[in-house]
């Protein structure tokens, strides 16, 4: 049995002034052919899970290509076609001499938007299907923040989404999807997909799978599976910072019949709609968080939610650093840790060298959404920015921050890096000799995922409603293309 494997993942943010190119993908990872078999090591990701399933079943993996870009702006069409074209070419070559593959495993995100295509995943799947013998099954793993569309529901395609947010089950999701694929090929199941949507969006922190109201809807989905009514339930609270028609909450169900799948999807989507008013985030003013953090024992962890790289922000806002300086955090007796993405400033500080005092203009150089902030500090650490994620989300994955400098501004430790990358893992700081557990305050550019790593070490956690393209307040998002009415922008009562 031969199973083709590919990954093409990016989460788009429509409200940042830059596009995503091949280079953006290469900054994270880009593995071709046999590289894919070993490149991820033991990292707990979707593709490593699929490889494990195939190995256990004695199936032969046919590695095509795997790449991921950090959440960023709209994907450039030329770059999308370059990557997609290579996947198609490799899949075609793998089936030369009348040797069709028996199935395909795809690791996708679900919320990728191309310049001229608001539904990239449906195009990816369609183009892969065009290379296959009719009837060849495709199993797709998705992030639960995917924008699920009717166009994605195509013949011989099954989707399995993450069950957990914060995202701690990438591996488990890949394992379920690959296992379903092999059962499908063996004739043990014949999956049918059904979708039900509601036009509503929530702040990601309000839609965590372990807390109400979403946890109650998740529990009903798991009960449906346990009762044998359906094969798999996937819920998609959706990434809200995209501007596209039909944006909203999705219930996507895989079952043995269309009727069973649709009934389950409709029930779950209605449950979410009926509790829509409960999905409101609890935010705290930035100055109040700083006051509490500097005056309280233990660690105060706070989300700098407005400019999160994991949601597509540039990570270069100076709002938090400016507020810390205004509050005197640089003169405190315990350290505060924060970050800014600024390749030029990092290079200037690195050129000066460790131990040198430098004055830099930092921030807003990629986004252009504000003015740089002038700061003076001592260069504490210079690093190539490579680190390993150690928390439960993407454990073992290698992260790349590019040239990175720790700048000491009194008691403030500014992690000044060149490439935007996930901030929710402790590894980004510990790789630089900073221990978040010993800090008074740590600001994390993550709307919610940071809780998985910080909850075990923080005395308290807050959400700061900071400005930027990943803001927590859904009413401030400047959509122009979404289907109206949409909750909570429009207070729909039916």
Q: What angle do CA 484, 445, 342 make, to 5 degrees?
A: 110
Query: pLDDT tens across 351-394, in order?
Result: 999 999 999 999 999 999 899 999 999 999 999 999 998 888 77
pLDDT of residue 43: 93
Residue 20 has pLDDT above 70, yes or no: yes
Strand partners, 462: 302
Contacts of 292 (CB under 8 A, 6+ apart): 300, 460, 462
Residue 267 has pLDDT above 70, yes or no: yes
pLDDT of residue 384: 97
pLDDT of residue 491: 78
Half-sphere exposure of 405 (CA within 13 A, CB side): 26
- Span 133-155, average pLDDT: 97
Contacts of 386 (CB under 8 A, 6+ apart): 398, 399, 400, 401, 431
Query: pLDDT tens across 58-105, in order?
Result: 999 999 999 999 899 999 999 999 999 999 999 999 999 989 999 999
- Span 165-185, average pLDDT: 96
CA–centroid distance for 259 within its chain? 32
pLDDT of residue 101: 98
Rounded to two decimals, what is the model's pTM? 0.92
Can you give 244-279 as a three-state secondary structure string?
CCCCCEEEEEEECCHHHHHHHHHHHHHHHHHCHHHC
Residue 493 has pLDDT above 90, yes or no: no
Query: pLDDT tens across 442-483, in order?
Result: 999 998 889 999 999 999 999 998 989 998 889 889 999 999
pLDDT grade, residue 207 (50/70/90)? very high
Task: Report CA-CA distances (Å) from 387 to 23, 398, 405, 406.
Answer: 20, 6, 14, 14
Question: Is the N-terminal amide bond of 166 cis, ω within 30° of 0?
Answer: yes
Query: pLDDT tens across 25-54, in order?
Result: 999 999 999 999 999 999 999 999 999 999
pLDDT grade, residue 494 (50/70/90)? low
- Span 316-332, average pLDDT: 97
12 and 312 Cβ atoms separated by less than 8 Å: yes
Tokens of 161: 């989404």
pLDDT grade, residue 268 (50/70/90)? very high
472 and 281 Cβ atoms separated by less than 8 Å: yes
Please give the share of the chain, as a percent, with pLDDT higher than 70.
Answer: 100
| Token pair 């046919």 in the structure block, residue | 62
Residue 439 has pLDDT above 80, yes or no: yes
- Smallest CA-to-CA distance from 452 within 421, 432, 423 is with 423
Mean pLDDT of the chain: 96
CA distance 298 to 439: 8
CA distance 299 to 484: 42
CA distance 302 to 462: 5
Domain chopping of the chain, boundaries: 2-278, 286-472
pLDDT grade, residue 422 (50/70/90)? confident
CA distance 146 to 106: 14
- Smallest CA-to-CA distance from 425 within 389, 384, 463 is with 389
pLDDT of residue 424: 85
CA distance 194 to 334: 53
């Amino acid at each position: 049995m031969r199973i083709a494997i590919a990954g093409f993942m990016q989460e788009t943010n429509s409200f940042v002034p830059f596009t995503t190119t091949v280079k953006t993908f290469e900054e994270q990872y880009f593995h071709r052919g046999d590289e894919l078999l070993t490149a991820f090591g033991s990292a707990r990701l979707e593709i490593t899970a699929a490889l494990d399933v195939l190995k256990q079943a004695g199936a032969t993996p046919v590695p095509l290509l795997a790449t991921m870009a950090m959440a960023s702006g709209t994907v450039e069409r030329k770059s999308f076609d370059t990557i997609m074209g290579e996947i198609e070419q490799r899949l075609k070559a793998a089936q030369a001499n009348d040797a069709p593959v028996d199935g395909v495993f795809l690791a996708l995100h679900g919320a990728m938007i191309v310049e001229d295509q608001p539904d990239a995943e449906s195009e990816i799947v369609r183009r892969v299907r065009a290379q296959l013998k009719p009837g060849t099954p495709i199993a797709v793993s998705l992030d639960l923040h995917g924008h699920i569309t009717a166009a994605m529901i195509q013949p011989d395609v099954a989707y399995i989404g993450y069950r957990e947010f914060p995202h701690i089950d990438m591996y488990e999701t890949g394992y379920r999807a690959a296992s379903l694929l092999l059962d499908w090929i063996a004739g043990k199941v014949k999956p049918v997909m059904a979708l039900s949507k509601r036009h509503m969006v929530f702040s990601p922190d309000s839609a965590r799978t372990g807390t109400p109201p979403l946890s109650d809807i998740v529990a009903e989905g798991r009960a449906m599976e346990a009762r044998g009514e359906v094969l798999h339930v996937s819920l998609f609270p959706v990434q809200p910072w995209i501007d596209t028609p039909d944006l909203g909450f999705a219930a996507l169900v895989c079952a043995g019949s269309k009727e069973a799948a649709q009934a389950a999807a409709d029930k779950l989507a209605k449950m979410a709609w009926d509790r829509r008013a409960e999905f409101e985030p609890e935010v705290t003013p930035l100055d109040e968080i700083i006051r509490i953090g500097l005056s309280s024992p233990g660690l105060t962890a706070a989300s700098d939610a407005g400019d999160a790289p994991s949601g597509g922000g540039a990570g270069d806002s100076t709002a938090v650093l400016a507020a810390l300086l205004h509050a005197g955090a640089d003169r405190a007796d315990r350290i505060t840790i924060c970050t800014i993405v600024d390749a030029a400033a990092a290079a200037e500080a690195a050129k000066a060298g460790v131990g040198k005092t430098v004055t830099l203009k930092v921030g807003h150089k990629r986004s252009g959404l504000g003015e740089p902030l002038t700061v003076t500090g001592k260069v504490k650490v210079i690093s190539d920015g490579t680190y390993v994620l150690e928390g439960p989300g993407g454990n073992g994955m290698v992260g790349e921050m590019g040239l990175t400098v720790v700048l000491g501004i009194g008691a403030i430790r500014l992690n000044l890096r060149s490439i935007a990358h996930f901030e929710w893992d402790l590894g980004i700081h510990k790789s630089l000799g900073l221990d978040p557990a010993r800090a008074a305050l740590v600001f994390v550019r993550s709307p919610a995922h940071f809780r998985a790593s910080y909850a075990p070490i923080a005395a308290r956690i807050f959400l700061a409603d900071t400005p930027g393209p990943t803001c927590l307040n859904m009413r401030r998002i400047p959509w122009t293309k979404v289907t109206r009415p949409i909750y909570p922008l429009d207070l729909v009562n039916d």
